[in-house]
Amino acid sequence: MIARADEFIRLYSSENAVERPPADRMAEIRGEIRQSGTYAHTAEELAFGAKVAWRNSRRCIGRLYWPGLVVRDLRHLRTAEDIHRACVEHLRTAFNGGRIRPTISVFAADGPDGTGPRIHNPQLIRYAGYRGPDGRVTGDPASADLTDRLRALGWPGGPGTRFDVLPLLVQGPGEAARILDLPADAVREVPLRHPDHDWFADLGLRWHALPVISDMVLDIGGVRYGAAPFNGWYMGTEIGARNLVDAQRYDLLPEVADRLGLDRTSDRTLWKDRALVELNVAVLWSFEQDGITMTDHHTESERFLRHLRREEKAGRTVPADWSWIVPPLSGGVTPVFHRYYDDHESSPAFLQAPAPGRCPVTGHAPATDGEATGPDPQPPVSVGVGANTGDSRDRIARP
């Protein structure tokens, strides 16, 4: 941990007006680690580390605005109820009347003797996935496992639609996980319509306006924050070309194509492409009509190149995964397609969460009948997130 802390403090000192030498701060940190096994960031270090973790997210195309990330230091909150209330406030303030603010809420760090708080939902807002007797899922198949877990813990379920909002499953240190509902006013949703096809509204499609990733680990200088939900705003293709379209998600292209009267007898008719474009038109138009921040993949590609130029001017390289930076729709006509990137891991970083119940520091699960389990063979790895911290990040472990 000392080596990681030293690396971070030197980075922090080099990019900020720090009066005292990094060696003095490191002397304090070494003393804290000797006494407790870990150390605490100052509020300024925490804010800087969270912003740089976004800057380092190699799979995120929307990093131009990393310096403006709003960092909420909530390390003093420990109980599930307090964390839940803070998450609800995050949803309200980050939505900001539709002018979405990139925001992160950082709760207590993991300690050397166990984990800190956890939010077990992959996002603060997710739709349920109800498994039927035939194995088919009503709602979002990506949420089927979490839905099963919540129902096993006592959640009665929602009305049973394709878009039932899941409650949060929050766990304070040393506590059992608790199910806590989100109030309706904290969940802003957009009914999807089309500017040219009135029938589109009859499909009953909608999506939530604010993507808040909530199950990733924020690593700053060797200190890991297992509960640090963060958001940007959506890029339209995350909803219109992934969430509503992927075969393992809502798989809506056939339904949209049939309503458009397209010939689905052969892929050569390009029915998928034509339906995909119209679905993305509907997503972008609906968010615009409702006055909610959303970007399109052409604009965001240009912004990413601006980010590259700005970072290069500052003497920094930009880590980027080409397969994520290039949008999932019309990639070849965006400027990010026609170049290579320096793809490397950097720190601070957002880490992929370990298997449920395992400590992201030690890789161990809690003791059962007095006997601890062995370490997770898959330690956390540095990852990024799609677009402006949206939710196409299924591609981390799956597509």
User: Shortest CA distance to 231 belongs to which of 75, 122, 118, 317?
Assistant: 122
Q: Can you give the length of the chain in residues?
A: 399
Residue 216 in tokens: 């990733």
Exactly one of 66, 233, 285, 324 is catalytic; name it: 233
Burial class (CB in 10 A: 0-12, 13-18, 19+), 319: buried
Exactly one of 25, 55, 60, 118 is catalytic; name it: 60
What sign has the CA pseudo-torsion 260, 266, 267, 268? negative
| Known catalytic membership, residue 155 | no
Distance from C-alpha of 124 to C-alpha of 394, rounded to nearest angstrom: 15
The H or E element spanning position 313 is helix 297-313
Q: Which residues pair with 127 in a beta bridge?
A: 165
Distance from C-alpha of 129 to C-alpha of 1, rounded to nearest angstrom: 40
User: Shortest CA distance to 22 belongs to which of 12, 31, 32?
Assistant: 12
Exactly one of 25, 118, 193, 238 is catalytic; name it: 238
| Known catalytic membership, residue 233 | yes
Exactly one of 55, 59, 63, 242 is catalytic; name it: 63
| Known catalytic membership, residue 54 | no
CA atoms within a 13 Å half-sphere pointing along the CA-CB vector of 388: 29
Detail the DSSP E strand segments found in 9-112.
70-73, 103-106
Q: How far is CA 278 from CA 15, 238, 281, 283, in A?
A: 45, 14, 5, 9
By DSSP bridging, strand 103-106 and strand 70-73 are: parallel
| Known catalytic membership, residue 238 | yes
Distance from C-alpha of 14 to C-alpha of 26, rounded to nearest angstrom: 14
Residues classed as catalytic: 60, 63, 233, 238
